[in-house]
Every structure is written in structure tokens, then in C-alpha cells.
Structure 1
Amino acid sequence: MRQEIEEKGRGLQKKMDESFRTGQTLEKQANEKIKDLEKQITLSAAGPLIEKLVEKYSIFPAIVSYLKDCLKDISKNSDAYRGQTAEQASPVMPIPPQFQQDEADFFTRYKVNLFVSNKQNGGAPVILEPSTNYYNLFGKIEYRSQVFSMRTDFTMVKAGAIHRANGGYLILQAKDVLSDPLVWDTLKKAIKYRQAGVENIGEQYRLVPTVTLRPEPVPFNAKVILIGSPQLYQILYSFDEDFRKLFKVKVDFDTEMPRSLDNMCKYTSLVSAVCREHHLKHFDWTGVAKLTEYGSYLAGSQNKLTARFNEIIEILYEAAALAQTDDTELVQAKHVDKAIKERRYRSNRIEEKIQEFIINGKIMIDTGGSVIGQVNGLAINELGGFAFGRPVRITARTYMGRGGIINIEREAQMSGSIHSKGVLILAGYLGGKFAQKKPLGLTAQITFEQLYDGIEGDSASSAELYAILSSLSGLPLTQSIAVTGSVNQFGDIQPIGGATEKIEGFFDICQARGLTGEQGVIIPIQNIDDLMLKEEVLEAVHSGKFHVYAVKNIEEGIEILSGNIAGTTGADGTYPEGSVMSLVDKKLNEYSKDLNAGITNTGEEKKPDLSDS
């Protein structure tokens, strides 16, 4: 009986197992059919939409392939579209909320990360990147903090300027790029290999490699334009081999342009555009004319206009503010003039101190009377973009000897190479003019009195020569006239820089002491077109209280300073009696005879010094 029951039980168990397996098989088949049905429903819903996109972008194989992959993934994950909760998906052991996958996270896979949009561009993109740090330039992969980890996905890959400029132009400031070596190296690699990838800083230098996104580099085809100074270009060209190969086109822009009618009209357009953009009061014709004059002043020429527009715009802002204070409808010339003066006033503390010392006699400058071997030269001081002219006393002492022209500044190591060259040129002039038939038995010492910060440039070489000629001839030079100008070995006066500032600097001293009608400045004739003098100087010149003399050669200048004719050689090779050159020649003849006789200026016997003067 028991055995029979056990056999029936085993038979029943077998039938139950078969029924269970059959049930599982049927359930599996049912689930598969349900899934197939869901896939069909999903495909019937998504398929036509995808097909429209495939048809629209059929000329882009990569997009077509992506859309087909999306459709396959949609059909494969049709369960996700039923909106199952985490509890329904795992009823036995619910997942804590902080570890649950957000439904939106699943559908993120179907999003499109619009990496770069050129919708607003009418043509090729032109990107001017003001902040050239690594991430702004090359993009980045962002991360989101989640529980105890950091998560990222393809939607968090952000483009940089190099990607936005692809197919167009990328404009960068060279000094900003070079300030970060990693930026410079990465930029060169992008240009060299024509690829623009996205990789966070330090990914290549991790001690332990981590799994993260590795976006595929995009083909890079853009013109990269670096803006920088000529000095920076020369440094890169000389020391960076890649720079020569990658940046083959150099464009050297001028900081000034011709003062033509067309360019003056462009100045007017610039003023109008800035006022309109920044909601400033507009300028009347006098205000625009004054700004144009200031542009010529900055360019240092009557025939040029500065292309440093930022300096023009700064004055424009200040003039507009002054007009606002005056409650006038338009900005006028007086507002521009006041803005220029106030801008100068904010920067001229050193200039005022020097002028104060000169007027008080602590810096010794004469603006009247006559002195032998002494002349007022003119120098330029430049401090932080502000330049001003000032007079300097130049003195010369001459005596018998073979020392030649001794530059005291050079001996004291206060002279620049250009200034030293200018002094050596003086020896060439004197030797060529007065030592054709006799040795130049001359020692002359020249110096800039009360100048302790060194000197550079040759713009005072003519003044130095005037002082030497005065010392040799014994003729006093007027101290009411200052001198600027370079000289060559033939006595021709050569143009210099800063003529306007130098004239105004000497004028300010003369005006403070009182204009006498005898004061003025000698300049090279080539610098006439460079003068952009302020109103006070022009009024003084027009009224005869101040003078500006333009000379071609040393002879013209010495006549103005000494009041004597310079003199030229006649048929017999001599100079007119009483002329400056005859007196100089006479003195040099005396020195030569005494030296040939072996007598020094102290009356002691001495072996002649045969060193080259």
C-alpha cells in the first residue's frame, strides 16, 4: 500500500514538473510574443519618425548610421517605455532612492549634444577668444556629483573656441596663449595634426588610469590668427621651430595711417558708432575736428592719423562725460580739449616737478643772455606712455691736445650706444672741415649738465656741435633759443622724434618766466610736418612772442644762435674774416702749431700723444 502511494506520488510529481516546465515554456513564449508585440508597437511608433530623419539627412552616412542604431536600441529597450518603477522591476529587494537610476538618465542616450551651432553665422565663423585658458580654448568634459562618485556622459562634453572656429577663423592674443605652456603646446598640436579633441587637463598624467569618456577628435580646419608685438614675433621665430612652420603668413600693421579725406571720414564714422553703441552724446563738427587733430598729435605728424583707436576712444568717453556735466546737447571742441588737458594733468607730476626745479634755479637753465660754449638742448622723458620735453644745458670746453671729442657721459658709463655714435660723428665733421692740411690738435669735453639718469639718442648732436664751435670761436650763443636735431659728418641736420613735445617743453619754461619775443627753438627742416603744437604755442608764434626755426645745416643754426655769419670757404680756401668758421679755423691753427712745437697748454715739454682722436 505504501509503495503504491509512493509510486503514485512520484508519478504526480513528474506530471507536476512537466506541467511547470510546460508553464515556463508557455510563459517564455508568451513573454517573447509580448516583447515582439511591444517591439512592433514601438517600431510602428518610432520607425516612421526615424525614417523621416534618415530621409532628411541621407547625404550624411554617419547620421544615417546613428539613426538606425537608435531605432535598434529603442526596439531592444522597449520595456523602458512602459514606465516601470524600481519597485516593480525588483519587488523582492527594492533599490534605495539614492541608488535608483532616474528615468530621465535612461533616455539621455537618445539626446543629441549640440556640440557647436553655426545657426547664427552668416558665413564662416570668426571667433575672437578674450580668455585663452585651456578649457575655454579646447573644451572640457564636465562631471556631476552623485552619491559617492562623479558621473559624466556625452551630453556633458563642452566645446571650446577651437571647435567653434572650425571651418573659419580663430583670433587669439599671442601673449595670453604663451602665458600657459600647455595651451601653446596643445594649440600647435591641433594645427599640426589637424585634429581638435576634448580632454581634461591631467588625463594623460594620472598615476592610475581611469575609465572616462574619450571623445573622438574632430577634423580641424581653421585659420588661427595670433595678434602680438613685433618683438614677440621675432622671439617666437628665432626660438620656436614649430612657429615658423605653422604660422607662415605675417601681416605687419602700422600704428598710423595717412590723414586723407577718406580716413578723416572714417574717424567721424568711428566717433558716431561709439557714441551710438554706448549711448553717449554725439559730437558736433568742432568736436570731431579736435579729435582728428589729437589723432595727428598721437601720430606725430600733420599728415598722419593714429591707428591706436583705443586712445582716441578714451578721450571720446571723457569729452562726452564733460559735455554731460555741462548739459550741452552735443560734445564740442572745448570738451575734447579739456579732456586732453585733464588726461595730461593726471600724468604730468614728474614734468611739473622738473619745471618747478628749473624755474626755481635748482636745475640751471638760462632762457636769456648769451654764454660761450653753452647751449640749451632738448630731451624727451617718457614715463608709462606719457612723454614730455624738457631743456637740458649742454656745455663744451675745448683746449689744445690730441684727445679728440671726449663724451663725459660715455666715460661715466651713462651714455647709450646711439648717443656715443653721435658724438663720434662730431669728430668726423670737425676733421673733415678744419683738418685737411693740418692735424686736428683738439681736445673737447662735452656734457649734459645736471643729468644723472643717462642719455640715449643722437637728437642733441647738433647742439653739442654748436657748443664746441662756440667754445672754439669764442662767440657766445644765445640762451633764449633751444636746439634739437641730429647732424651727420657733412654738417647736414637730420630729423628727430618728439619735435612737438620738445618745443612745448621749452615753451612752458619760457612762458613761466615770461615771453620776451626772443625765445624759440631750432628744429630740423624735415620735422616741420611733424609739428602738432598746442594752442598756446601757436598763438605765441603768431604774435611774435615765440619762434620756431627750421634749419637744413649747421651753418644756418650757428648763425641764429651766435648772430654772426657762419662763413664758407672762398677761392683761396679761407673763410671770411670774423665769421664763425674763420674764428674756429684760427683757433685750431694755433692748437696745431703749438702741438707741432711740442708745447702743451701748460707750457711743459711733452712727447705728443699720437692716439687717434
Structure 2
Amino acid sequence: MPSALEISQLYKKCDSSLFSFKTTKELEPLEEPFGQKNALDAIDFAANIEQDGYNLFAMGTSGSGKHSTVMNFLQKKTRSQKAPNDWCYVNNFKDPRKPIAIELPSGHAIGFKDNMDELVELLKEILPTVFEGSAYRNEYEAINQKYMEKETQIFQYLQDEAKKHDIAMNATSKNRVSFAPVINGKVITASEFNAIEGKEKEEIEKKVNEFEKIVKDGLHGVNELNKAQRKELKDLEKRITKESVESLIDEVRSKYKYSDKITAYLDDLEDDVIHHVQDFLVKPDEMPMIPFMKELYTPSFSRYGVNLFITHEENAPSAVIYEDNPIHQNLIGKIEHLSQVGTLVTDFSMIKPGALHKANGGYLVLDARKLLMQPFAYEELKRALRSKEIRIESLAQQYSFISTTSLEPEPIPIDVKVALIGERILYYLLYHYDPDFGELFKVVADFEDSIVRSKENTHLYAQMIGTIATNHDLLPLTPDAVARVIEESSREVSHSLKFSAHLRTLSDLLKEADYWAKKNSHSAVEKDDINKVLQTRIDRANRIQMRLYEQIDEGTIMIDLSGSVVGQINALSFISMGGYNFGIASKITARTRIGKGEIIDIERKVELGGPIHSKGVMILSSYLGSTYAQNKPLSLSSSLVFEQSYNKIDGDSASSTELYAILSSLANLPIKQNIAVTGSVNQFGEIQPIGGVNEKIEGFFDICMRRDKNGFYGVIIPETNIKHLMLKTEVLEAVEKGNFAIYAVKTINEGIEILTGVEAGEVDEKGNYPSSSVNGMVMARLEEFSENARDFYHKKSDNSDEENKTDK
């Protein structure tokens, strides 16, 4: 029969004498988390390989420190990398709906904008002066005078022709004249003309028609002169404007001659200034109108401005951008609109950058879950990575939600590495269901959940504790406090040979300990402060646990903790609610009778048992058949049930417990009720490890101590779970006093001996067990079932034959 475990096997202490410091303030801070070598190598590989598709997915449990690790690593790397070029958007004078993207060296965009603003101010100042100057006015007047003389000559010619045709002519405007016949020096009226008859009237009409043709030709000549005058004046305006602005624009052009795009843009800008020079000559302030009307007549020069889209300081490092809200427009940018007189308007100055633009030439870090929760964001990210350019389009425009005309900015090429951070399930789901994912995110950094508890790592963990305390401005820790934190970290991962790599949990523990230390006026965090944190956490979250314990105390939940009962056993289960975990005892009962080798899982029958639990029950049939009925039918029917269970039950950690109950029922041997059991079993009767072993043991311990602190109780666990034991102090004290024991077993035989106090028995060469052993009693009972079943069916068959003879 296995003996109880020693106290040293139940809890692995951390010896504070390993530490030579007085407080963690003396320790050198860690620059990066330890125990994550593979993950850090993956991050380094993804950051340095210059090939398409080698973006990073950093995965691990939430709070494992993967986000801060990735950010810190990339920020260090970018310190030695020069910032990428600046980007600006400017007006496209040929097609304002398609703004032009201009690339400039890092730190030069602001200078370009300043140069353009200065140019526009100079134009606004110089052009009015030029057009008000004598040189322009003289040429302007000379052109007007020249054409006035030509018009005068045409009208003088018409006057002469009018006299020849006995017609009086009056010029009402440049393009219009009126005339009437003259008889004997007198202009006749229409009524007088109508009164004339005969040949005289015909002569007058003939002269009028001839003169009308002459007037028409003359006025045509006047129109042509007007056109020529306007053209010459416009050419003068363009020439004067060009002469005035060309040198100014050439000065800017010479600064950016390395950029063909800027040169072409300045050429277009010069043409636009020449064609819209009147905008620079308008003086609305001198117009006699109310103020708001002046705004309508004030020309806008915003089209000559520069939209500083992406700028950097000169010699600045490349960027590491984390976008906390990765919605579509925050990723790829957006085009804003302004409401004017009930209409939405926009221009190149309202183009705003997204996270991809800001991270261009560097790194973009995104939370995978947040990204996937935003409509269209993930697909747009993939499109940008595949095409290596960012095209700013609004969703409303893409899907025709609105008909408002918008812009089509020139796309900007990108060279960016993306790091997605998320839990493992997201990585596996994306890899399985999205064919593009594996192509675009070829590097995975898998962060460890636990670290081996070696001497070297223990010292590194102490450094990590000190680093977190320093970074969060917390009190330093004493060696005893550090040792207690390390022990709790091992308990966190339920493994005495490891400790947790979950940095958020560690950070929270230190912050709460700092609170209690300061409240108790401690100069450093002490062991008692750590214990206070752990106890207050339990007190805040254990209401449901206490209510269940109270129901056990009252007998509402029926748990026997003393005596021995046939076919009844205490099983241990694990409950996790809102991050708080605890163990609880449940009564399992088994009844056996003659049958056809089936085990009835009542939980499954009523659909309360999950598939894993049902699998565990099915394994019991295999074990019973292969152990006790290899050469004959298993004439057994057994029913199993978790008494007083009203919710779903899953997991196979009670399968060994259920088997013990069945064996007890078959052998008619009572099971000790002061010992609870956990552990799964395989077809060979080997006990397999389970989860939550510490919580299960402690849960049963608490229930027992509430019943009788001076009694003796115990728990049977799988031997393979010994390394997971990190039990609380109260359990260790009870073990030391002899009030509690933990047994670790390898097989069902070892466990049944502890529960019944009877030897399990080994099979001999003939396949028989000692009759006084548990297995011998089980075998005898099964043979009895088999004989009774054979007699029953034989008798039933004889009765059936007799009935057939009687009928005949």
C-alpha cells in the first residue's frame, strides 16, 4: 500500500538565502524578459529579414508581456534606422479630384510648405504692384488706344457711306448702330416712309439694303477688333504675370530640382497663377459691401498650399506605431469633408494619414483581436501589404453608400513590417481559415507561459521583480518577499519545478503588495505583505465557494466525511469562476447487478455529462472486461451518478473515482469516506494526471477542517501530479500534525487498497486472484453474475419449450 507523501513533496520552498541583496533596489534591471529566447529570436528574425510576407504574429496568453516585449524590441532596433522620407499632398491643377503625392527627404516637407507659403505671399504682394505700375498701364493704354483708333476709322467709314446712301446713322454702342433714310436733308419717320409709293420708295429701300450690308461688315470688323483687343490684353496680362512670377517660382524650383514631381507641380502652378492672376488683384476690402459678403468675394489661395501628410524631424529614427483602434480609416487614412451651404466639399488639404502611413519605413503593431473585430480593417491591411501601396478610399464611396463626389488621392508606396499580437487560438484559426494569412505572416513568436525554476532563472526572476517595481515606482522587495512571490508564481502555473512567465499577473501582485506595505508604513515590501495580497484576493472572490461549503456543513449538499460505505466515494472537482479557482467535493455512487456488460452513465443519459466525461466512463467498461472477463461474457450492469449534480459535468478526472465505486459495489467492500479521490484512468488501469490538483486538495481540506479539525482525512492523486503540488500553508501544517495526508498512486490497485484497506491482489498463472483480495472478490462476484445469468436464460429457454409443446 502506498505511503503518504512527505511535506517536501507537497511544496517547493524558495530559499531566500539564495539572494545576497537587501532589497530588489540593488538589482540591475532587466532590459528584456528572460525565458523567452525563442520568441525574441523570432521577433529579431522578422524585424531584420528584408523579404515580402515576413510579417510577425506574436502569440501567447493575454498579459504574458508579448505586447511590451515586441514594442521595446522594435523601438530599440529603430534607434539605428533613419526615418523614411516625408510625404505631402498637393493640388492637381489639371484634375483637382486626383491630388498628387510628393515624396521629399526626411525632414524636408515642412521646408517645402514654408517655401510654397512664402511664394504665395510674395505673389499676393508683387502682382498687384506690377499691374498697378506705369509699365503695365502704359502698354495697356497703348493697346486700347490702338484699337480705339481702328474702331473710329471703321465708324467714320460707315458715316461716310451713310451720307452717300442718303441715310442718317447713329452708333448706339460698339456693336450696334441705328439708321434711317434722309429725304431733302430731313430724316423721315416710319409712317412717312410707308406713305411713299412707287419708284421713289423702291430707290430708298435699295439704298437702305445696300447700307445695311455695309454696316454689317463694319460691325463684324468691330467685333474682330474687340476679340483681338481682348486677346492682346490677355497676352499682355500673361506676359507680365509670367515675367513677374517666373523668377520667384524658379527660385523655388532650383531648391527642388532633384524632384521631377515638384518641378512638374511648379510648372502647373505657374500656369495656374498666370491663368488666374485676377484672383491676386481682387481687393474685397475696398468694396462697399457688408462683411459676410466680402468673404464670398475674397479669393482662396488654398489650392497653392501643401498638405503635410507625413513629416519627420531631420535625422529622426524610423517609427514604431501602435494603433489601439484599428478601424478602417485609422489604418489607411481618410478624406474629411466640410459642409458648405448644405453641400459636403473636400480638397487635398483634408486628406489625413492612417497608421500604415505613419509606420511607413518602420513597424506597425496591432492587436489581432481588435483588428478582426473591425469591419473591413483586416482585408484592407492585407490588400495594402500585398500591393505595397496605400490607396485612401472611404467605405461609403467603395460600397456606394453615398453619391457625394470625393477625391482619389494618388496612392503612396509603403515598406512596412506589421506585427500582430494575439492569443494562440486567433493564430490557429487565421492560419486554418484564411489562405492569405500564412502568406503574409510567415513568422510566429510564441511566448512561453512558464519558465524552468532553476537557480539561474530564480535570480533572473528576482531581477524581473525588481525591474517591474522600479518601472512602476513601487517599493522594493525584501529577499523573503521575493521568495514568497516566486513560490506563488510556481503555484500560479501549478508546477513546483517552474514559475509563471505571465508578467501582468506578477505586476498586479507587486502593485497590490506595494499598497499594503505603504499602508503598514513599511520601507520595503515584506513577505507578510505578499501574504496579505493573496488572502484579500481570496476574501474578495470566494463568496460562492463559502456558500457551497455552508451547504455541505448544513447537510444540504450530502457529503460523508467519516465511516465507510459500499459503492460510494468522494470525488474532487475543479470550479473556475471569474478568475477565481477552487475545489469542491462531490458524492459519486455506483450500483451493480446482472446485465450485459454495460455501464450506465446517468449524467450522459440526462444530457448533463460532456463528451470527455462520457469517454472516461466508456473506458471503465474496457478495463473491467479486459481485467475480469477476458474469456467469458461480462454479465454486469452498473449505473454511475454524481449525486446532487444539476449542471453540466465534463472532464475525465473522476473516471478513476467512478471505477473505485464500481469495484467497491462488486466486491461489497466499503470505501473510506474520509478520503477523496481525483485522477483519470486508462484501459490498463493506470492513473493519469489531471488539472487543478492544488485547488482540489485544498477544497477537500477546507471542507474537512470545517467539519472536524482534529480528525484525519486524505486525498488520493495521480503520482504524475506530484510535481504540480504547491499546497497552501494550512494543508502543510495539517499534514505535519498528522490530520491530513496526500497519497499518490500509479494504478487502480494501489488506490483501491488505500480506500478499502484490503489488498488488491495480483493475478496468478491461471488468471485467478486471491479470494481474499479486492480483485478476487470482484472476480467472484462477476462469476456469480455470469452463472446466475446463464441459469436464468437456460430456465427461460426451458419454459419457452414447454409452452410450445403445450400449444401443439
Q: TM-score, normalised by structure 1?
A: 0.84
Match of 1:99 among 288, 296, 305: 296
Q: How much does 1:482 deviate? A: 0.7
Match of 2:791 among 575, 597, 600: 597
C-alpha distance in 1, partners of 2:615/2:229?
A: 110
Q: Tell me, yes or no, if the aligned pair for 2:238 and 2:274 is still in contact at 8 Å.
A: no
The residue type equivalent to 1:221 in the other structure is D
- 2:489 is aligned to 295
Pairing of 1:419-458 with structure 2 (within 5 A):
419-458=613-652
Q: Tell me, yes or no, if the aligned pair for 1:523 and 1:548 is still in contact at 8 Å.
A: yes
C-alpha distance in 2, partners of 1:120/1:336?
A: 48
C-alpha distance in 2, partners of 1:27/1:160?
A: 48
Shift in CA distance, 531/7, structure 1 to aligned 2, threshold 3 Å? closer
Q: How much does 1:230 deviate? A: 3.9
C-alpha distance in 1, partners of 2:542/2:323?
A: 36
> Is 1:86 matched up with 2:280?
no
C-alpha distance in 2, partners of 1:121/1:471?
A: 79
The residue type equivalent to 1:539 in the other structure is E
Structure 1 SS opposite 2:301: helix
Q: How much does 1:10 deviate? A: 8.0
Shift in CA distance, 440/64, structure 1 to aligned 2, threshold 3 Å? same
Q: How much does 1:453 deviate? A: 0.8
Structure 2 SS opposite 1:114: strand
Pairing of 1:82-161 with structure 2 (within 5 A):
85-87=283-285, 96-101=293-298, 105-106=300-301, 109-117=304-312, 122-123=317-318, 125-146=319-340, 149-161=343-355
C-alpha distance in 2, partners of 1:7/1:131?
A: 80
Q: How much does 1:550 deviate? A: 0.9
- 1:546 is aligned to 740
Structure 1 SS opposite 2:621: helix
Q: How much does 1:470 deviate? A: 1.4
The residue type equivalent to 1:86 in the other structure is P
C-alpha distance in 2, partners of 1:97/1:262?
A: 79
Match of 2:542 among 326, 332, 348: 348
> Is 1:51 matched up with 2:243?
no
- 1:365 is aligned to 559
Describe the superposition over 1:281-340 as per-residue Cα deviations: whole angstroms up to 9, x where unpaired: 233333333333332222221223333322222222222222222221222222222222
Deviates more, 1:327-336 or 1:68-77: 68-77
> Is 1:529 matched up with 2:706?
no
- 1:39 is aligned to 245
Q: Tell me, yes or no, if the aligned pair for 1:87 and 1:95 is still in contact at 8 Å.
A: no
C-alpha distance in 2, partners of 1:239/1:26?
A: 71
Pairing of 1:160-309 with structure 2 (within 5 A):
160-206=354-400, 209-261=403-455, 263-309=457-503
Higher relative contact order (CA 8 A, sep 6+): 2
- 1:3 is aligned to none
The residue type equivalent to 1:106 in the other structure is F
Structure 2 SS opposite 1:287: helix
Q: How much does 1:352 deviate? A: 1.2
C-alpha distance in 1, partners of 2:669/2:539?
A: 40
Q: How much does 1:34 deviate? A: 5.6
Describe the superposition over 1:443-473 as per-residue Cα deviations: whole angstroms up to 9, x where unpaired: 2222111111131111111111111111122
How much is the aligned-residue C-alpha RMSD, in angstroms?
A: 3.7
Deviates more, 1:416-425 or 1:126-135: 126-135
Pairing of 1:314-333 with structure 2 (within 5 A):
314-333=508-527
Shift in CA distance, 461/118, structure 1 to aligned 2, threshold 3 Å? farther
Match of 2:591 among 373, 390, 397: 397
Shift in CA distance, 403/440, structure 1 to aligned 2, threshold 3 Å? closer
Q: Tell me, yes or no, if the aligned pair for 1:492 and 1:552 is still in contact at 8 Å.
A: yes
Describe the superposition over 1:333-363 as per-residue Cα deviations: whole angstroms up to 9, x where unpaired: 2222222222232222221111111111111
Q: Tell me, yes or no, if the aligned pair for 2:242 and 2:274 is still in contact at 8 Å.
A: no
Describe the superposition over 1:124-176 as per-residue Cα deviations: whole angstroms up to 9, x where unpaired: x3322111222222211223445655443323211111222223332322332
C-alpha distance in 2, partners of 1:93/1:549?
A: 97
Q: Tell me, yes or no, if the aligned pair for 1:38 and 1:78 is still in contact at 8 Å.
A: no
C-alpha distance in 2, partners of 1:356/1:47?
A: 91
> Is 1:336 matched up with 2:533?
no
Q: Tell me, yes or no, if the aligned pair for 1:598 and 1:607 is still in contact at 8 Å.
A: no
C-alpha distance in 2, partners of 1:553/1:69?
A: 89
The residue type equivalent to 1:296 in the other structure is S
Q: Tell me, yes or no, if the aligned pair for 1:419 and 1:456 is still in contact at 8 Å.
A: yes
C-alpha distance in 2, partners of 1:218/1:338?
A: 57
C-alpha distance in 2, partners of 1:251/1:500?
A: 31
Describe the superposition over 1:464-498 as per-residue Cα deviations: whole angstroms up to 9, x where unpaired: 11111111222211111111111111111111111
Structure 2 SS opposite 1:186: helix
Larger radius of gyration: 2
C-alpha distance in 2, partners of 1:246/1:24?
A: 63
Q: Tell me, yes or no, if the aligned pair for 1:140 and 1:198 is still in contact at 8 Å.
A: yes
C-alpha distance in 1, partners of 2:283/2:402?
A: 37
Describe the superposition over 1:537-578 as per-residue Cα deviations: whole angstroms up to 9, x where unpaired: 122223322111111111111111111211112345432342
- 2:772 is aligned to 578
Describe the superposition over 1:554-607 as per-residue Cα deviations: whole angstroms up to 9, x where unpaired: 11111111112111123454323422122222222222222222279xxx8479
- 1:408 is aligned to 602
- 2:136 is aligned to none
C-alpha distance in 2, partners of 1:444/1:357?
A: 29
Q: Tell me, yes or no, if the aligned pair for 2:453 and 2:499 is still in contact at 8 Å.
A: yes
Structure 2 SS opposite 1:170: strand
Shift in CA distance, 25/542, structure 1 to aligned 2, threshold 3 Å? closer
Shift in CA distance, 109/555, structure 1 to aligned 2, threshold 3 Å? same
Unaligned runs of 5+ in 1: 1-5, 12-16, 609-613
- 1:486 is aligned to 680
The residue type equivalent to 2:245 in the other structure is K
Q: Tell me, yes or no, if the aligned pair for 1:171 and 1:226 is still in contact at 8 Å.
A: yes
The residue type equivalent to 1:553 in the other structure is T
C-alpha distance in 1, partners of 2:354/2:367?
A: 16
The residue type equivalent to 1:452 in the other structure is Y
The residue type equivalent to 1:114 in the other structure is F
Shift in CA distance, 48/454, structure 1 to aligned 2, threshold 3 Å? closer
C-alpha distance in 1, partners of 2:349/2:373?
A: 31
C-alpha distance in 2, partners of 1:313/1:182?
A: 35
- 1:14 is aligned to none
C-alpha distance in 2, partners of 1:508/1:92?
A: 90
Q: Tell me, yes or no, if the aligned pair for 1:485 and 1:523 is still in contact at 8 Å.
A: yes
Structure 1 SS opposite 2:792: coil
Pairing of 1:502-517 with structure 2 (within 5 A):
502-516=696-710
Structure 2 SS opposite 1:597: helix
Q: Tell me, yes or no, if the aligned pair for 2:567 and 2:664 is still in contact at 8 Å.
A: yes
Structure 2 SS opposite 1:113: strand
Identity of aligned residues (%): 41
Deviates more, 1:477-486 or 1:222-231: 222-231
Unaligned runs of 5+ in 2: 1-154, 161-173, 175-221, 800-808
C-alpha distance in 2, partners of 1:547/1:336?
A: 27
